[in-house]
């Protein structure tokens, strides 16, 4: 009997060490709406790209149309490139960090959510740091932003636990520490919402002033009133994890890029934090299971939350797309860890039908 007690005690100690010892994850409970099967027909046709632009430009995490009619891209090496009218891509600026989200203010100046430096504003003398990133500033994972008509900025701090480069740990923990900030000036900001599962891409509708935001780990898009802070779900049950978001003024559609299909096997663990802690230990030994395919994917949703268009490109060896927008009559996509920009026919162009 004594040996049984000792054996059980040792096993319990080992399980506890595996679950809560050094190197363990801070697993949280998260119950998501599953992928909505009614959306699947939008994504069944595989669409072939028209072309790839500049495969030598790596990691265009965000693509942003400028007030000058040109297209801007934030690269992994710190550069911000611009697509000239003649078709050339030229360097516009370099943040010296890792630029992610781009947005232009009403006066035409550029704001950048830089994962390593924070919220930046471009001036004639260089970059002003409006809000710094950790360890010196309060931002942990500055991700995306949109500048409203009155100059206020709505930006996302995707996670307060995991900085840039550690999104996989954030996903496996299913941690919900992301927040939405309203910035009114250098160093001046308030938190509009918190406790979100990797809050990510953001853009606004100039006609209504409403803001739309992707919550990645929940497969959900939110609608936000920046004046009241009131939030409501626009759509959920997306088939992939939404990343960047772009509002198309011409059509009133909200475009969300999805770098990966949902993983039902991993998501099933989100409701069982203790089991997930033990699975994490096994993954540290055996490695990750096969991950879902990561073709170019995007969804277009109208202001009422109805999905009207889905993009699925061919399966590739590259990472998936983190941004998608219609520009100059074509659907442009790019990604955090992709080479170049992959261009598809836009909905209604004839070539995509």
Contact 333, 341 (CB under 8 A): yes
Tokens 């991700």 appear where? 143
Listed in sequence order, the residues at least 6 apart from 301 whose beta carbon sits closer than 8 Å to its beta carbon are: 221, 234, 235, 253, 254, 256, 307, 308
Q: How far apart are CA 19 and CA 280, in angstroms?
A: 9
Q: Indicate the pairing of strand 153-157 with strand 142-147.
A: antiparallel
The residues pairing with 93 across neighbouring beta strands, listed in sequence order, are 80
Listed in sequence order, the residues at least 6 apart from 260 whose beta carbon sits closer than 8 Å to its beta carbon are: 240, 241, 291, 292, 293, 294, 297, 320
Count of beta carbons in the 10 Å neighbourhood of residue 26 = 13
Question: Using the 8-state DSSP alphabet, how is residue 269 labeled?
Answer: G
Contact 95, 131 (CB under 8 A): no
Looking at residue 270, what is its pLDDT?
Answer: 86
Looking at residue 290, what is its pLDDT?
Answer: 73
The residues pairing with 96 across neighbouring beta strands, listed in sequence order, are none
Q: What is the pTM of this model?
A: 0.91
Tokens 């947005």 appear where? 103
Sheet holding 220-224, edge to edge: 199-204, 211-215, 220-224, 231-235
pLDDT in tens, the chain (353 residues): 655 544 433 333 334 434 444 455 677 788 889 999 999 999 999 999 999 999 999 999 999 999 999 999 999 999 999 998 878 999 999 999 999 999 999 999 999 999 999 999 999 889 999 999 999 999 999 999 999 999 999 999 999 999 998 888 888 889 999 999 999 999 999 999 999 999 999 999 999 999 999 999 999 999 999 999 999 999 999 999 999 999 999 999 999 999 999 988 888 888 888 778 777 776 777 777 777 778 999 999 999 999 999 999 998 888 899 999 999 999 999 999 999 999 999 997 655 44
**Token pair for residue 129?**
């740091």
Nearest to 150 by CA among 102, 206, 191: 206
* Environment class of 283 (CB within 10 Å of its CB; exposed 0-12, middle 13-18, buried 19+): middle
Contact 223, 204 (CB under 8 A): no
CA distances from 312 to 169, 239, 275, 324 (A): 26, 11, 33, 12
């Amino acid at each position: 009997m004594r040996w049984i007690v000792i054996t059980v005690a040792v096993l319990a100690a080992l399980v506890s060490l595996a679950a809560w010892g050094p190197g363990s994850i801070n697993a949280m409970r998260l119950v998501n709406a599953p992928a909505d099967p009614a959306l699947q027909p939008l994504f069944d046709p595989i669409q072939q790209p028209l072309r790839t632009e500049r495969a030598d430009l790596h990691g265009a995490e965000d693509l942003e149309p400028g007030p000058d009619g040109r297209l801007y891209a934030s690269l992994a090496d710190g550069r911000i490139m611009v697509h000239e009218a003649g078709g050339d891509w030229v360097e516009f600026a370099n943040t010296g960090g890792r630029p992610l989200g781009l947005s232009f203010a009403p006066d035409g100046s550029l704001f950048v959510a830089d994962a390593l430096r924070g919220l930046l504003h471009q001036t004639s003398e260089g970059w002003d740091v409006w809000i710094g990133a950790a360890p010196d500033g309060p931002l942990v994972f500055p991700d995306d932003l949109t500048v409203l008509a009155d100059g206020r900025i709505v930006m996302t701090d995707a996670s307060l636990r995991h900085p840039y480069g550690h999104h996989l740990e954030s996903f496996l923990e299913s941690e919900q520490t992301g927040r939405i900030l309203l910035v009114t000036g250098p160093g001046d900001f308030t938190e509009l919402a918190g406790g979100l599962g990797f809050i990510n891409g953001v853009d606004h509708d100039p006609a209504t002033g409403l803001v739309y935001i992707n919550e990645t780990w929940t497969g959900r898009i939110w609608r936000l009133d920046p004046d009241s802070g009131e939030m409501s779900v626009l759509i959920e049950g997306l088939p992939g994890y939404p990343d960047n978001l772009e509002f198309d003024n011409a059509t009133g559609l909200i475009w969300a890029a999805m770098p990966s299909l949902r993983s039902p096997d991993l998501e099933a663990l989100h409701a069982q934090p203790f089991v997930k802690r033990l699975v994490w230990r096994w993954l540290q030994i055996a490695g990750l299971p096969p991950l879902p395919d990561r073709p170019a994917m995007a969804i277009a949703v109208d202001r009422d939350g109805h999905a009207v268009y889905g993009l699925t490109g061919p399966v590739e060896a590259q990472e998936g797309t983190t941004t998608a927008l219609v520009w100059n009559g074509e659907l442009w996509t790019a990604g955090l860890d992709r080479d170049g920009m992959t261009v598809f026919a836009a909905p209604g162009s004839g070539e995509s039908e």
